[in-house]
Structure 1
Amino acid sequence: MPRLLVPLYVHPAVDPGAWQAVAAAGPSRVAAVVLNVADGPGAAPDHVFTDAAALLRASGIRLLGYSDTDYGRRAHAAVVEDLLRYQDWYGVDGVYFDQVAEHPAALTHYRRLITAARAAGCGTVVLGHGTHPDAGYAEVGLADLLVTFEGDWDAYQDLVPPVWTGRHPPSRFCHLVYDVPADRTDAFAKLATAHRAGLACAVPTPQPNPWTALPLGLTRY
């Protein structure tokens, strides 16, 4: 079973049990959790998120701050401000850049963002493409992890990873799958392994906001 990267996009006050369950699973099961306070860090610290982040850090789970890059259209400075706020307010270990462009023309933009993130102290940088991008995004020294699939269970069963992914270890890739039937948990794990995803997450909920649910395979407390 691949380790989990969990986009936990539900407020801790709304579903504290989900946060407790993820923390209880520990780092052997959960590699990292993506914090998404308000499609970014928001305008001011949220003390409930601060406490929830502290709970996860105490369990040894890495925290990644969510920042929407709008496929390269969002200003560099605005994205960097997101990650600095996450660090100051929630003590995150790294950043999850979402809505990342997949074409090679945007590589220079993302290299600058990643350089800024590293300079700011981000130990982990994730690029959330949601699909397989140009192979250049997997170059050594760029991002630690690429999210190369985000979609529903039906689409995931038809996924054919490009040949270039075979030149990299599974630990470089993550797949996020929603609308997965609860009785297909084992099938999902086998398929993620076959697709060479070292990290993954499956939830039973559909769009429009599937990532408010606890990942399949975790026990709610």
Structure 2
Amino acid sequence: MSHLIDAGPRLAATAGASSLGVGVPGYAHPLVAPAEWAELARPEAPLHWAVLNVARGPGIQPDPHCLEAAGRLTNAGVRVLGLLDTRLGTRPFGELISDAHHFLDWYKVDGFYLDRCPPDRAVLQETKRVAATLRALLEEAYLVFGHGTHPYPGYAEWADQLVTFAGSWADYRWSQVAEWTAEYAPQRFCHLVHGVPRLHLEEAVRIARWQGAGTVYFTDRTARGRGADPWEALPGYWDEIVSRIGPGVSE
């Protein structure tokens, strides 16, 4: 069982000094959110990766608008990750790999974002099987496990990055970090936080550094309302994020 420690003690030199970048968990379709997709290709945007979510996966056939958007990001040096919904480990293996094939064939993605990735030790073996197969399909595949919470530590050995927080600003302000994460570099962890007020953006950046996260996504949009998705559109302070975090480099 992993222990939790307060954010403050993570002010180690490596965590405090490391530069942050942005991971985008997936905007709405390019026809619905053209400005969002255009912004991701800005040369100074500090992007580590962006998720392509056509229809909770690759969709049933190639989408030319998504292909164009993904191509622009790839040409701008941004990793494009296809979304694979694991449904907390209940999705059949064959379905996941079929979706992965479609993402590679239709959109030439650079890796995969395993959404709703299970955090439990009991499902680690099956997740390892999925990860190993994805890397066999694409040798340099960049894998992000979207747990949204601290998983069993063994998951860290099979992903390039773990999403160890996904939730509201109200929860993030008082969040704690698992002690075992101190054994890994900041670029191994990502935090996704919605409902962050503009006045608290600096505080959110500070918490991410304290907790040793190398990739973040902060937005003032919220999950309130039926079907509301806080990740579908740009935050109102996107320009401030770009200037505060600085130019990003794919690592």
TM-score class, shorter-chain normalisation, is over 0.9
3-state SS of paired residue (1:138): helix
Deviation at 1:216, TM superposition (A): 6.1
1:219 equivalent to 2:235? Answer: no
2:40 aligns to what? Answer: 22
Q: Per-residue CA shift, 1:171-214, capped at 9, x if unaligned?
A: 11000001111222222111111111011101111113011121
Alignment of 1:149-164 (within 5 A): 149-164=165-180
Distance in 2 separating the partners of 1:25 and 1:176: 22
Asked which structure has the greater RCO (Cα within 8 Å, sep 6+), the reply is 2
Task: From the CA coordinates, give the structure whose radius of gyration is larger.
Answer: 2
Distance in 2 separating the partners of 1:191 and 1:215: 19
Distance in 2 separating the partners of 1:218 and 1:89: 30
- Which of 193, 204, 209 is the matching residue for 1:177? 193
Contact 2:49 2:79 in 1 (8 A): yes
1:145 aligns to what? Answer: 161
Contact 1:102 1:132 in 2 (8 A): yes
Distance in 1 separating the partners of 2:96 and 2:36: 28
Q: Per-residue CA shift, 1:66-115, capped at 9, x if unaligned?
A: 01001111100100111111111111000000111111111110010000
What is the Cα-based RMSD across aligned positions, in Å? Answer: 1.5
2:206 aligns to what? Answer: 190
2:53 aligns to what? Answer: 36
1:134 aligns to what? Answer: 152
3-state SS of paired residue (1:70): coil
Deviation at 1:25, TM superposition (A): 4.3
The verdict on how the C-alpha distance between 1:194 and 1:25 changes in structure 2, with shifts beyond 3 A counting, is: farther
1:204 equivalent to 2:224? Answer: no
Contact 2:27 2:37 in 1 (8 A): no
3-state SS of paired residue (1:210): coil
The one-letter amino acid of 2:231's match is: W
1:64 equivalent to 2:86? Answer: no
Superposition TM-score, scaled by structure 2 size: 0.83
Contact 1:22 1:218 in 2 (8 A): no
Paired residue total: 217
